[in-house]
């Protein structure tokens, strides 16, 4: 990478992103893989479309024998696409994203079974395949978070994505990866076709550097040069130094936690396996970081200290309870809003409390209302909501679960079906899923509250697993949450 003005530091503890559009040649992934192997790194190549034989031929053009490296336990290719296809044939449906990670982890463990010294390099090629297969942006991000945890602080990971500008999910994922990456490489092909002297351009950026290079693909190498110069002249430095990546739009997080509660006394202070609902919620929202490295520093910190979440510019607790205020102050970055008495009454709605908060804190344009009575909030779901809200066309995002229940209603004392014909009772697998609010979180533009709304006409949804959608409203809910927490056995990322 030195011919592009980048030293070998990109191979240490980083997340890097390679993007191409339809006319771009995704040569950079294999080239980086070969350079990593020549730098005595171990390589795990994750492919969602091509097989080992394809990469063996490509690597040969860079004078790298992938077959010998695989036999020597220095490189392996995890054929993720083939894994998903086989699981679909066996099970009749696509595997959950967690199973894909388990298979990836096995390939990684096999590669490093005898040698833990070499810094690992993981290259994930053709990531867009997961979106084509129907996985959500949140599931793809969850997979990447898990993959990055394998090489945290010891190696690096490259993710390759080819996307179409008309695909909203691909654009959302592309925007997220650009913000998270240490280095961004965007490859553009020639719009006017092929040229003998030019194959396309590479835009390279980091938080400190910005540069554009033209390149020409040759038989066994890639030549790079500055725009407007001859192909023989190699660029000596980046064109300019500038800040390239902008942060996500500022989102303020608000948690409503009043002291009074009808069904459960001091509900927001009730504990699940030793941690109160309010503190449990705060530990989650303050770890919404918006980038993999910060997420994992929060996860793996030996001190266990929590830092202000980069996903939210501020985290507020609105309460009328001194006990809840004291509990919340265990996390230093949390701010306290002492709620007015009229907004703390049993009859006061969440919208009333939100409007009361906004009256005291002007200038907030986007608010995330997060409910601490949803004890199984996941960081990845909140991340997905942040990503959706980064689109200017979206005015609100809220959490839902899917449901395929046969619904009835009564009218004038007569029972009537709502969503099916009793004469043709559908099988659950044939029913179209409905979406039910979980109450876990609501992200919205604050101008909606002027219309007494938390959801606007351009709302998006984040689908959460049903088993994690429980809302604490009764003693039974609390006991069920205790059991779930003891048996889930997963980290809520």
In the chain, how many domains are there?
2
pLDDT in tens, 159-183: 988 877 667 788 888 888 887 777 8
pLDDT in tens, 424-480: 888 877 777 889 999 999 999 999 999 999 999 889 999 998 889 999 999 999 999
Within-domain flag for 121: yes
Give the residue, 427 or 338, on which the prediction is more confident.
338
CB 111 within 8 Å of CB 79: no
Instruction: Give the residue numbers spanning the domain of 7.
Output: 2-241
Same domain as 260, residue 237: no
What H or E segment, with its residue span, contains residue 150?
helix 137-150
The C-alpha atoms of residue 336 and residue 270 are separated, in whole angstroms, by 19
Ramachandran class of 86: left when φ > 0, alpha when ψ lies in -120 to 50, beta otherwise: alpha
The residues pairing with 188 across neighbouring beta strands, listed in sequence order, are 201
Same domain as 224, residue 142: yes
Residue that has been written with the tokens 């101008």 in this structure: 447
pLDDT in tens, 44-96: 899 988 888 888 888 887 788 889 888 888 888 999 988 888 888 888 777 78
Two tokens at 315? 């985290």
Tell me, what's the pLDDT at 148? Answer: 80
Same domain as 351, residue 299: yes
Q: Is the pLDDT of residue 18 over 80?
A: yes
Same domain as 30, residue 161: yes
Angle of helix 168-180 relative to helix 137-150, nearest 10 degrees, comes to 30
CATH of the domain at 472: 3.90.550.10
Closest by CA to 371, choosing from 426, 428, 437, is: 437
Q: Nearest-5° angle of CA 362, CA 461, CA 441? A: 50
Final residue in a domain of this structure, among 241, 267, 287: 241
Tell me, what's the pLDDT at 243? Answer: 30
**Residue 70 is among the residues annotated as catalytic for this protein:** no
Quickly state the pLDDT bin for 247 (edges 50, 70, 90): very low
Tell me, what's the pLDDT at 396? Answer: 94
Share of the chain above pLDDT 70, in %: 77
Same domain as 335, residue 382: yes
Tell me, what's the pLDDT at 167? Answer: 73
Within-domain flag for 343: yes
Final residue in a domain of this structure, among 241, 270, 305: 241
Within-domain flag for 416: no
Q: Pick the range with the lowest mean pLDDT from 50-54, 120-124, 216-220.
A: 216-220
Average pLDDT (129-139) is 88
Same domain as 269, residue 210: no
**Residues found in the chain:** 493
pLDDT in tens, 349-369: 999 999 999 999 988 989 999
Within-domain flag for 414: no
The C-alpha atoms of residue 198 and residue 230 are separated, in whole angstroms, by 10
Within-domain flag for 493: no
Mean pLDDT of the chain: 79
Within-domain flag for 422: no
The C-alpha atoms of residue 343 and residue 259 are separated, in whole angstroms, by 12
Q: Pick the range with the lowest mean pLDDT from 18-27, 139-148, 187-196, 276-285.
A: 187-196
CA-only gyration radius of the chain, Å? 26
CB 114 within 8 Å of CB 108: no
Highest average pLDDT, of 27-36, 207-216, 306-315, 363-372, comes from: 363-372
Same domain as 275, residue 160: no
Q: Pick the range with the lowest mean pLDDT from 22-36, 64-78, 131-145, 254-268.
A: 22-36
Closest by CA to 370, choosing from 251, 459, 456, is: 251
Q: Nearest-5° angle of CA 327, CA 330, CA 336? A: 65
Same domain as 9, residue 106: yes
Tell me, what's the pLDDT at 309? Answer: 41
Within-domain flag for 419: no
Two tokens at 104? 């990836």
Within-domain flag for 420: no
Same domain as 257, residue 237: no
Final residue in a domain of this structure, among 192, 210, 241: 241
Instruction: Kindly name the residue from 220, 258, 425, 427 that is annotated as catalytic.
Output: 425
Question: 3-class SS at 76?
Answer: strand
Same domain as 199, residue 96: yes
Same domain as 379, residue 329: yes
Two tokens at 215? 């390149």
CATH of the domain at 227: 3.40.50.300
Same domain as 334, residue 277: yes
């Amino acid at each position: 990478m030195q011919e592009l003005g980048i030293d070998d530091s990109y191979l240490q503890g980083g997340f890097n992103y390679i993007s191409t559009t339809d006319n771009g040649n995704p040569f950079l992934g294999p080239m980086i893989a070969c350079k990593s192997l020549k730098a005595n790194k171990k390589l795990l190549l994750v492919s969602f479309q091509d097989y080992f034989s394809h990469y063996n031929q490509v690597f040969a053009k860079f004078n790298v024998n992938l077959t010998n490296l695989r036999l020597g336990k220095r490189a392996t290719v995890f054929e993720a696409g083939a894994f998903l296809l086989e699981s679909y044939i066996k099970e009749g449906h696509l595997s959950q994203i967690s199973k894909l990670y388990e298979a990836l982890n096995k390939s990684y463990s096999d590669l490093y079974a005898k040698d833990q010294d070499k810094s690992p390099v993981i290259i994930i090629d053709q990531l867009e395949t997961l979106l084509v297969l129907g996985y959500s942006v949140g599931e793809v991000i969850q997979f990447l978070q898990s993959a990055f945890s394998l090489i945290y602080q010891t190696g690096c990971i490259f993710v390759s994505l080819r996307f179409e500008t008309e695909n909203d999910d691909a654009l959302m994922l592309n925007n997220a990866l650009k913000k998270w990456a240490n280095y961004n490489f965007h490859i553009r092909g020639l719009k006017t076709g092929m040229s003998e002297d030019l194959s396309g351009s590479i835009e390279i950026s980091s938080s400190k550097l910005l540069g554009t290079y033209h390149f020409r693909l040759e038989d066994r190498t890639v030549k790079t040069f500055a725009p407007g110069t001859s192909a023989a002249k190699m660029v000596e430095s980046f064109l300019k130094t500038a800040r390239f990546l902008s942060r996500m739009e500022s989102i303020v997080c608000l948690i409503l936690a009043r002291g009074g509660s009808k069904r459960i006394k001091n509900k927001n202070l009730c504990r699940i396996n030793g941690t109160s609902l309010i503190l449990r919620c705060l530990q989650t929202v303050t770890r919404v970081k918006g980038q993999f490295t910060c997420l994992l520093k929060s996860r793996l910190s030996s001190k266990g200290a929590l830092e202000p979440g980069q996903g939210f510019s501020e985290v507020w607790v609105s309460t009328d309870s001194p006990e809840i205020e004291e509990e919340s102050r265990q996390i230093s970055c949390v701010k306290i809003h002492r709620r007015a008495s009229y907004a703390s009454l049993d009859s006061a709605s969440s919208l009333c409390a939100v409007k009361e908060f906004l009256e005291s804190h002007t200038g907030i344009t986007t608010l995330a209302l997060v409910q601490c009575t949803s004890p199984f909030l996941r960081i990845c779901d909140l991340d997905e909501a942040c990503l959706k809200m980064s689109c200017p066309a979206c005015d609100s995002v809220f959490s839902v679960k899917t449901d395929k229940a046969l619904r009835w209603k009564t009218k004038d004392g007569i029972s009537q079906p709502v969503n099916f014909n009793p004469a043709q009772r559908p099988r659950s697998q044939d029913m179209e899923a409905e979406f039910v609010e979980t109450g876990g979180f609501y992200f919205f533009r604050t101008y909606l509250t002027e219309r007494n709304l938390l959801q606007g006409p351009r709302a998006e949804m984040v689908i959460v697993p049903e088993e994690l959608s429980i809302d604490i409203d009764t003693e039974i809910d609390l006991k069920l949450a205790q059991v779930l927490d003891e048996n889930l056995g997963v980290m809520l990322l």
